[in-house]
Amino acid sequence: MHNINIPSGWPVFDGQIATYWFEEGILVSFSKAVKRTVENISDNVNFVKGLTGGARVPVLIYITKSPIPDKATRRLSAEMLPVNYKAMAIISEPGLAQLILKLVFRLKPSPIPVKSFVNDREAKQWLKQFL
C-alpha cells in the first residue's frame, strides 16, 4: 500500500489498534490490521488522550485493511472522534477510505471534519488549518 516510514529519533507510541507519533503538531496514526471492538476502541480513546494530554489534535491516519467492525463499534468510533480529534485526514488505497466513511457515518455526518487523501503531503497541508 503506502511506503510509511515510522520515524526514528523521536517518540513513537505503540497502541492496540495503531502506532502513533507526532509530526509538526499533527498526530500520525498507522493503523494495524486488527478487528476493532468496543473494548479496544474505548481503550484507544484513553490511550490517545494520554498521548495528547487531553488536548484535541488533528490526526492523519494511514488506514490498512482490517475486519469490518460490528455496528456498536462503528457507532462508538463515530461518537468518540471529537473526544481526541479536531479533524481527521485519511490516507488509504482508493475506495477504502470512502467505504469506511460510509460504514461509520451511515446514519449521521461526522462530528469533525474528515477528508480522504491518496498522499500524505496534501493531507498534512489540509490538517494544518486545524492546529
What is the per-residue pLDDT across 4-40, written as a single tens digit (0 to 9) for each?
878 888 899 999 999 999 999 999 999 999 999 999 9
**DSSP symbol at 112:** S
Position 73 in a domain = yes
Position 14 in a domain = no
Cell of 73: 463499534
Quote the domain boundaries for residue 69. 32-130
- pLDDT tens, 60-110? 999 888 888 999 998 899 899 999 999 999 998 777 767 777 777 776 788
Give the number of domains in the chain.
1
Position 27 in a domain = no
- CB 48, CB 84: distance < 8 Å: yes
